[in-house]
Structure formats: C-alpha cells, structure tokens
Chain A
Amino acid sequence: MSFFGFGSGADIDIILDGADSRKQAEIKTEEGRKEKHSLYYDGESVSGKVNVTMKKPGTKLEHQGVKIEFIGQIELYYDRGNHHEFSSIVKELARPGELMQNATYSFEFVQVEKPYESYTGANVKLRYFLRVTLVKRISDLVKERDIIVHTLSTYPEMNNSIKMEVGIEESLHIEFEYNKSKYHLKDVIVGKIYFLLVRIKIKHMELAIIKRETTGSGPNTFNDNETIAKYEIMDGAPVRGESIPIRLFLSGYDLTPTMRDINKKFSVKYYLNLVLVDEEERRYFKQQEIVLWRKGEKVRRQIQQPASVPSTISNVASPEETSPTANDVEK
C-alpha cells in the first residue's frame, strides 16, 4: 500500500534483486483472494533497489531523510491498532536534503532472520515486508512491498504411526491407524479402520482435516475451526472384522505447516477427525492431532545464482499426547 500526501512530488518503487529468477509463492489475502510475492527463506539476504521517481520533472522535493525497513509483524484482527513487530531492521538510504531528479538507492539486509512462516488466517496475519519512508514535514511518502517466507523442515527422526482402540462400551469398538504422526504438505495419509464391535447402525464414515487457529491466551483464548477437507471413506454398514482403508492425498488441499505458539501470539494446528454417522444422524467422532511440515523443494542448479541456503531448518515437534480412551458421541 502506498500513501500519497497533498502535493506529493514522487512515486516510490521497491525492486527486489533477482526477482525474475526467484520463485514466487501464493498467499491468501484477508478478503480471500490470492496474492503472489517473492519467496524467501530464513537466513537469505534481502536486497534490491528503491527508485524514487519525480512526478513533475524539474521540481524540487525537500525531505527529512529516506529510510528502508525490513519488518516482520503479527497482526491480530481484533486488535488492529497494535502490530506486534517481532523483527525490525532499519537502514538509512538518504540523509535529509533535496531531490531534484529521480534517484535510485540500493539496499541489502544481509542474511536477515525470518523465524516464522508468512500466514494469513481467520483472525491473525503474519507478514514480512519492506517499507520505504521518505520523511517530509507534513506527511511522509511511504511504499511497502511484501515478501513471503516459508519455513522448511527435514524428515523428522521420530515419526511414529498413530494407532488406537476407541469406542463406546457395548456399542462400538474400532481400532484406527494412521501410518505417521508427522506429514509433509504433499504427503499421503495411509491408514485403516478396523471394526471390533458394531452394535449401532452405521450409515457412513468420513475423515476430515480440521485446521484450528488459536489466538489470544488464558480467558481470552479464541479457537477458529475450519474443515479443510471432508472425505467419505465408507458407505454402508460394516460388521465385526471389517477393515476400511484410508488413502488421503494432502497436496490437493490448502494447508500450512503446523505453527506452535508463534511469538506467543497464535497457533495453527491440524487434526484428523474420524466421524461415523448412524442411521439416526448421530455422529461418533475421534479427533487426533497430526503435525504438518514443509519439505524443501529440489534445488535446480543455476549458473550465476548467489548461494543462498536457509540457515535454519527447524526440527519438527511432536504432536501433543491425547487420551487413548476418549471418544465422543453427539448428545
């Protein structure tokens, strides 16, 4: 977004180095549209040029200095006034003076830390952007350019399968199994449901992926639940001894990595929700957290590309333990 004061004399533009060869990523906007921006990783330098173009050539533009900031911030929608900047670096581009013609300034934020992934959600947004400010007496000229940051992880050392027996005494016992507890965003959930006891009249069974965005803390905690995917895995009434396979490809869905307590402001967690529906539309469900992580893409070597390697690859944390005996029936 750029702000123009009265009688402003110039346009500001921010050009990123290597924008043609750098990969772009997509992110949702608050309004639900998709935007594309240059993709950066933690530890990479962010460099480029700032062009200040005079609107009317030949005029003078007095200013109190030109600076550029690299900002990482978290914005909670219910608290718009307060932007929580977890990362803020400022560089001076020009000292106070006069501009009589177009000017170009170079900038470089060397190996700047980008600890979190860019995220736009239901109640919170985390973004990284460059902001150029041309300070003037009455009103500043400001120009912002967003970048997108992805956090990468490697294959986790420990990745146990999830296997549990749950049920309602005397009515329904099942054993469910998912092949892993940590999945990357293009992974496949492979598993099965085994029926041990079926004394209810089941109509169908479905598997859903639920995204839970948690903002706030203590008494002000707010959870936003979104069903990202719902997938019928069985139609009809099973009997004892039947196994129902599960094969769910994650690449078809709009998913982000699991984000835990980001800057103590928000979390994004994912759950598999197994739901059985009986003939009276009663729902029996078991929710299980899974950890999603982002795998780095294969790097294609290019000539003359500066060696930019992410300096941090985070470990994939384990999902929380859930009670193996818990099961719920809609009352």
Chain B
Amino acid sequence: MADAEATKRLSSKKQTLDDAYAAPANFLEIDICNPQTHGIGRTRYSDYEVRMKTNLPVFKLKESCIRRRYSDFEWLRNELERDSKIVVPPLPGKAWKRQLPFRHDEGIFEDEFIEERKKGLEVFINKIAGHPLAQNERCLHMFLQDAVIDKNYVPGKVRSV
C-alpha cells in the first residue's frame, strides 16, 4: 500500500563503532602566523609562517611548517589559474599605495597592515587547500610542503600517496 511505504521505517547499513568514533578523515588545518620583516632599507620584505596539519592521504607530510612571502602566494595563484580548472579565490590586496614613497607611516611594513594581510592569506590558502581539484596540483604541494619553491618546476598533477 502506498501509505505504508510512505511512513515505513528505513533500514540502513549499520555503522561500525570504529567508523563512528574515529578521527574524521577530512582533517586539514593551515595557520598563517609569526610574520617577520627581514632586511633593511630598500631590500626589506615580510614573510609568514605557513603551518599545516592534515590526515588527508594526498599530502605526503602530515605536518609541515615553512615560510612564504606575498609574492609566493601570487605565484601559487597564477599557477592554479593557468593549470587547474578551479575558480581561484582572490588574494588580499597588493597595496600599491602603501609602496609609494613619502608616506608618514611604515607602508607595507606597518603592523596593522601585515596583520590584515596575514588573515587574508590564511583565508586564501585554506580555501584552496580544501578544494579536491586543487589538491591534485603539484604547485600546491610544493607551496605547502617543500622548503623552497622551485620556480623551474614541471607543472603537473599529484596522485594520492
């Protein structure tokens, strides 16, 4: 009868207690912290610590911690725009105005500005690293887990470890 089927109890596969209480298989956290400005005068630049913790099999290292600067993020964004099929989220601003001379403040080395940029970069990298299609890109793995970015690398896809 149609009525009985509409309200009958559904039978489903039992979930094992192991599965129910195991750590989730989707653990991925990236924190951007500890901004530091290096150098003096014209050669100054800031960089940030990129700390990653994950249990996703696609990443070779379950924990990594490397330093990256803004231009490294720009490099990553360009690689992904070109090679991957994803719509890459925007980076926090380039802040051209802050790089002009004759400012009354420290420009791009202002603490407040660096803090804002740090937050924007954290949002950016978490969005990308969690995207199933971006996780296949060699450039993302190099950005997150290699000590140095080799700009002469061969772009390509990564398979699960």
Residues of A within 8 A of B (CB): 168, 170-172, 179, 187-188, 190, 192, 194, 197-202, 237, 239-243, 245, 247, 249, 278-280, 282, 329, 331
A170-B58, A188-B6, A199-B25 as given contacts; A241 in contact with B130, CB under 8 Å: no
20 contacts between A and B (CB under 8 A): A168-B132, A170-B57, A190-B6, A197-B25, A198-B25, A198-B26, A199-B25, A199-B57, A200-B26, A201-B28, A202-B26, A237-B24, A241-B13, A241-B19, A243-B13, A245-B10, A247-B6, A247-B10, A249-B6, A282-B131
Q: What are the residues of chain B within 8 A of A198 when measuring CB–CB?
A: 24-26
Query: Is B133's CB under 8 angstroms from A331's CB?
Result: yes
Indicate with 1 or 0, residue by residue over B12-30, a CB within 8 angstroms of chain A CB atoms.
1101100110101110100
Known: A170-B160, A329-B133, A331-B85. A240 touches B25 (CB 8 A): yes
Of A179, A202, A329, the contact of B132 (CB 8 Å cutoff): A329
Q: Across the interface, which residues of A come within 8 angstroms of B133, CB to CB? A: 329, 331
What are the residues of chain A within 8 A of B8 when measuring CB–CB?
190
State the CA gap A79–B74 with chains docked (Å): 51
Pair B20/A280 contact, Cβ less than 8 Å: no
Most buried by B among A192, A201, A240, A329: A240
* Residues of chain B within 8 A of A243, CB atoms compared: 10, 12-13, 15
> Please, which residues of chain A bring their CB within 8 A of the CB of B131?
280, 282
Tell yes or no: B56 within 8 A of A by CB.
yes
**A202 CA to B126 CA in the complex, in Å?**
15
B128 CB to nearest chain A CB (Å): 9
Closest B residue, CB atoms, query A249: B6
Question: Which residues of B come within 8 Å of A, CB atoms?
Answer: 2, 5-6, 8, 10, 12-13, 15-16, 19-20, 22, 24-26, 28, 56-58, 85-87, 126-127, 130-133, 135, 160
Question: In chain B, what residue has the closest Cβ to A240?
Answer: B19
CB distance from A284 to the nearest CB of B (A): 9
Set of chain B residues within 8 Å of A171, measured between Cβ atoms: 132, 135
Q: How far is the CB of B38 from chain A (nearest CB, A)?
A: 32
B5 touches A190 (CB 8 A): yes
A201 contacts which of B5, B26, B58 (Cβ < 8 Å)? B26
Closest A residue to B10 using CB positions: A245
Other than the given A188-B2, A190-B6, A200-B130, 19 more pairs (CB < 8 A) read: A170-B135, A171-B132, A171-B135, A188-B5, A190-B5, A190-B10, A198-B25, A199-B57, A199-B132, A200-B132, A201-B130, A237-B24, A241-B19, A241-B20, A242-B20, A278-B130, A280-B126, A280-B130, A331-B87
A220 to chain B, nearest CB (A): 29
Please state if B132 and A187 are interface contacts (CB–CB under 8 Å).
no
User: Closest 4 A-B residue pairs measured CB to CB?
Assistant: A243-B12, A241-B15, A241-B19, A188-B6
What separation, in Å, do the CA atoms of A279 and B16 have in the docked complex? 26
Residues in B with CB closer than 8 Å to A237 are 24, 26
Q: How far is the CB of B148 from chain A (nearest CB, A)?
A: 27
* Chain B neighbourhood of A192, CB < 8 A: 10, 12
Q: Determine whether the beta carbon of B5 is less than 8 Å from that of A194.
A: no
Q: Given contacts A201-B26, A280-B130, A329-B132, is CB(A187)–CB(B2) below 8 Å?
A: yes
Q: Is the CB of B5 within 8 A of A279?
A: no
Docked-complex contact A245 and B25, CB < 8 angstroms: no
Measured between beta carbons, the chain B residues less than 8 angstroms from A240 are 15, 19, 22, 25
Q: In whole angstroms, how far apart are the Cα atoms of A322 and B130 in the complex?
A: 29
Contacts of B160 in A (CB 8 A): 170
- Roughly how many angstroms separate A240 CA and B13 CA in the complex, as a whole number? 11
Task: Name the distance in Å between B134's Cβ and chain A's nearest Cβ.
Answer: 10
